[in-house]
């Protein structure tokens, strides 16, 4: 016998038909076909061996695809995307009181030249130390050590007074890594595993750079600013943690705090504000008004409300980013050239918030963060852990020089 309409109405009134009603109003899965098609097209257009893309929205993976010969385990050198990785190690040491962002070269190298003794850890990791913006010399030399390389860099010239100029390069970050070793008495490899690999559950990330050796490859002179090799699965854990405002979002320690929110706020501050731009990568021309935190760029995205996107692209096209206003984290994995891939990635960065239909950036936007510019005032430090995430910066003048290494 079929149930009467009256009986059905009574059942629903008692809430017993709620599951079926909920199913009828289930939120549809986002349609990212356009992103998938763009990824297929760029692999074909540039004749890439492969590429991978992972996208998360509000902590939930909404897209993960591997193209060409790439698989989930594909490991590639990520070049300057290493900067964000290394910055996290330093941030953990700062939280533990083993270092301070205002720790100076003079504290750890008392015999350093007078013009270098006042350089702070913050300046070393934001390209504002006054050291040259270069990617040469002892960086990555397997016959050297991190300490010997740092000593060589500190014996070299300065291009500006500390804190007055932005000169993009790896020399200053190499000194920062050596400072961490001196502050703790431990090699960088040990610090890296203790402060990043183990808590985030990474399985295929090290400073082996272009090596094809399996497993973890220890390095006596790791290239702090550009020597990491990693996989999509590992790097996404960094981006997911950042998206979760310092909470571990994936792995066995999921839900535990990795970094305090106040630490993230300090790292997100535009440290390049008010400096003279001596050198910056060509890809920054895609984002007029850029800024720089600790190991990553602060990039304006062209849409209403001008939200800020945090990103760390590498010379081979690899890039991880977090769009905090749109609730999006993503990793684009490839081994090609950033000059070719950067415009493609920027297009995807602008597509995702539209396709995921999250117009939260339409209002309640925090005040803009000033960009690097000549003669501007320095930005003050964050006043509390509740400070807003950085927002779009005002346009910066074009750099006087280009730094091809990124």
For the residues of 330-383, what is the DSSP string, one character each? EEEE--S-HHHHHHHHHHHHHHHHHHTT-GGGGS-PPPPPP---TTPPPPPPP-
pLDDT at 111: 97
pLDDT at 134: 86
The residue behind tokens 């990124």 is: 406
pLDDT at 301: 77
For helices 171-184 and 82-95, give the axis angle rounded to 10 degrees.
Answer: 30
The whole-model pTM stands at 0.83
Cα–Cα dist 161/384, whole Å? 29
Cα–Cα dist 263/50, whole Å? 36
Residue 78, both tokens: 């990520």
Q: What is the 3-state secondary structure (H, E, C) of 117-155?
A: CCCEHHHHCCCCCCCCCCCCCCCCCCCCCHHHHHHHHHC
Q: How many CB atoms lie within 10 A of CB 54?
A: 23
Q: How many CB atoms lie within 10 A of CB 34?
A: 13
pLDDT at 307: 62
Residue 400, both tokens: 């006087």
pLDDT at 135: 84
Cα–Cα dist 351/267, whole Å? 27
Question: If DSSP codes are grouped into helix, strand and coil, which group holds residue 198?
Answer: helix
Q: Are 244 and 59 in contact (CB under 8 A)?
A: yes
Cα–Cα dist 285/338, whole Å? 13
Reported as a single tens digit per residue, the pLDDT across 293-333 is: 999 999 987 665 556 899 999 999 999 999 988 899 999 99
Domains and CATH numbers, the chain: 71-333 (3.40.710.10)
pLDDT at 282: 92
Reported as a single tens digit per residue, the pLDDT across 184-226 is: 999 999 999 999 999 999 999 999 998 999 999 999 999 999 9
Q: Are 48 and 341 in contact (CB under 8 A)?
A: no
pLDDT tens digit at each of 406 positions of the chain: 444 444 444 444 444 444 444 444 455 678 999 999 999 999 999 999 999 999 999 999 999 999 999 999 999 999 999 999 999 999 999 999 999 999 999 999 999 999 999 999 999 999 999 999 988 889 989 999 999 999 999 999 999 999 999 999 999 999 999 999 999 999 999 999 999 999 999 999 999 998 999 999 999 999 999 999 999 999 999 999 999 999 999 988 999 999 999 999 999 999 999 999 999 999 999 999 999 999 999 998 766 555 689 999 999 999 999 998 889 999 999 999 999 999 999 999 999 999 997 544 333 333 333 334 333 333 433 333 333 343 333 333 333 333 433 4
> With 0-12 CB in 10 A as exposed, 13-18 as middle and 19+ as buried, what is 305?
middle
**DSSP secondary-structure letter at 72?**
T
Backbone angles phi, psi at 321, to 5 degrees: -150, 160
Cα–Cα dist 201/252, whole Å? 7
């Amino acid at each position: 016998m079929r149930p009467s309409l009256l009986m059905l109405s009574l059942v629903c009134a008692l809430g017993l038909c709620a599951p079926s009603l909920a199913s009828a109003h289930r939120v549809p899965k986002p349609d990212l076909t356009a992103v998938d098609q763009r990824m297929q097209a760029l692999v074909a257009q540039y004749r890439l061996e492969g590429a991978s893309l992972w996208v998360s929205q509000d902590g939930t993976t909404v897209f993960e695809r591997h193209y060409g010969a790439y698989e989930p385990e594909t490991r590639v050198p990520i070049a300057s995307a290493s900067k964000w990785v290394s910055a996290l190690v330093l941030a953990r040491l700062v939280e533990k009181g083993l270092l301070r962002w205002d720790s100076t070269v003079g504290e750890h190298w008392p015999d350093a030249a007078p013009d270098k003794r006042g350089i702070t850890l913050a300046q070393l990791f934001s390209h504002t130390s006054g050291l040259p913006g270069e990617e040469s010399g002892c960086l990555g030399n397997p016959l050297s050590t991190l300490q010997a390389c740092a000593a060589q860099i500190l014996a070299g010239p300065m291009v500006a007074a500390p804190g007055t100029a932005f000169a993009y390069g790896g020399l200053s970050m190499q000194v920062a890594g050596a400072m961490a070793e001196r502050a703790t008495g431990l090699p960088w490899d040990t610090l890296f595993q203790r402060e990043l690999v183990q808590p985030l559950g990474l399985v295929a990330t090290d400073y082996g750079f272009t090596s094809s050796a399996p497993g973890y490859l220890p390095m006596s002179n790791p290239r702090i600013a550009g020597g990491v090799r990693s996989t999509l699965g590992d790097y996404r854990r960094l981006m997911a943690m950042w998206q979760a405002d310092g909470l571990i979002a994936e792995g066995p320690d999921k839900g535990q705090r990795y970094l305090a929110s106040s630490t993230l706020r300090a790292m997100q501050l535009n440290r390049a504000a008010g400096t003279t731009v001596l050198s910056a990568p060509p890809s920054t021309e895609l984002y007029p008004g850029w800024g720089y935190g600790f190991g990553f760029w602060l990039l304006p995205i062209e849409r209403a409300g001008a939200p800020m996107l945090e990103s760390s692209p590498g010379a081979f096209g690899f890039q991880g980013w977090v769009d905090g206003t749109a609730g999006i984290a993503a990793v684009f994995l490839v081994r090609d050239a950033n000059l070719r891939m950067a415009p493609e990635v920027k297009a995807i960065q602008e597509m995702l918030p539209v396709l995921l239909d999250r117009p939260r950036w339409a209002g309640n936007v925090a005040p803009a963060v000033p960009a690097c510019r000549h003669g501007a005032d320095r930005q003050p430090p964050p006043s509390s852990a509740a400070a807003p995430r950085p927002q779009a910066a005002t346009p910066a003048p074009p750099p006087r020089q280009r730094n091809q290494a990124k």
